[in-house]
């Protein structure tokens, strides 16, 4: 993964966004998701996804999500840096980044809707 100048790989859950005038890669890696579970006091990934799918996010929530995505994409951005950052379209631009990032993370790349975030069950040999 990389910061400025790299290309996003949607199959890895990466997106591209222009933040502070520079094209950046954002990705909610497992570490970034763990960071968000802690920040939102979520019990697990299903709880976290449920919170996001409710569609009601505060500005602070968007800062945390974008910050975690930037760090997961290899960028050195603190949440404070995100709070002071600019994107085209202002708040609507930030909301678009959050939506794209969550879709890249939680949606099925084939376009089919995922029905759950449960881990795979072990199979009998």
Q: Give tens-digit pLDDT for 63-104.
A: 999 999 999 999 999 999 999 999 999 999 999 999 999 999
Residues in the chain, overall count: 125
pLDDT score of 57: 87
User: Sorting pLDDT into bands at 50, 70 and 90, what band is 120?
Assistant: very low
User: Sorting pLDDT into bands at 50, 70 and 90, what band is 8?
Assistant: confident
What is the mean predicted confidence (pLDDT) over 40-61?
89
pTM, rounded to two decimals: 0.81
The owner of tokens 């966004």 is: 17
C-alpha count within 13 angstroms, C-beta hemisphere, residue 82: 27
Closest CA to 72 of 12, 23, 119, 113: 12
User: Sorting pLDDT into bands at 50, 70 and 90, what band is 112?
Assistant: low
As a whole number of angstroms, the distance between CA 116 and CA 123 comes to 18
- Top pLDDT among 54 and 30 is at 30
User: Sorting pLDDT into bands at 50, 70 and 90, what band is 116?
Assistant: very low
What is the mean predicted confidence (pLDDT) over 25-29?
97
Mean model confidence pLDDT for the chain: 86
Closest CA to 59 of 88, 84, 78: 84
User: Sorting pLDDT into bands at 50, 70 and 90, what band is 111?
Assistant: low
What is the mean predicted confidence (pLDDT) over 25-54?
92
């Amino acid at each position: 993964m990389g910061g400025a100048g790299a290309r996003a790989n949607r199959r890895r859950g990466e997106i591209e966004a222009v933040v502070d005038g520079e094209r950046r890669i954002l990705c909610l890696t497992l570490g970034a998701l763990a960071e968000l579970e802690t920040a939102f006091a979520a019990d697990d990934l299903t709880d976290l996804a449920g919170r996001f799918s409710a569609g009601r996010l505060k500005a602070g929530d968007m800062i945390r999500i974008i910050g975690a995505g930037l760090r997961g994409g290899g960028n050195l951005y603190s949440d404070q840096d995100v709070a002071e950052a600019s994107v085209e379209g202002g708040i609507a631009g930030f909301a678009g980044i959050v939506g794209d990032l969550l879709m890249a993370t939680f949606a099925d790349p084939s376009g089919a809707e995922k029905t759950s975030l449960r881990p795979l069950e072990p199979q009998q040999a």
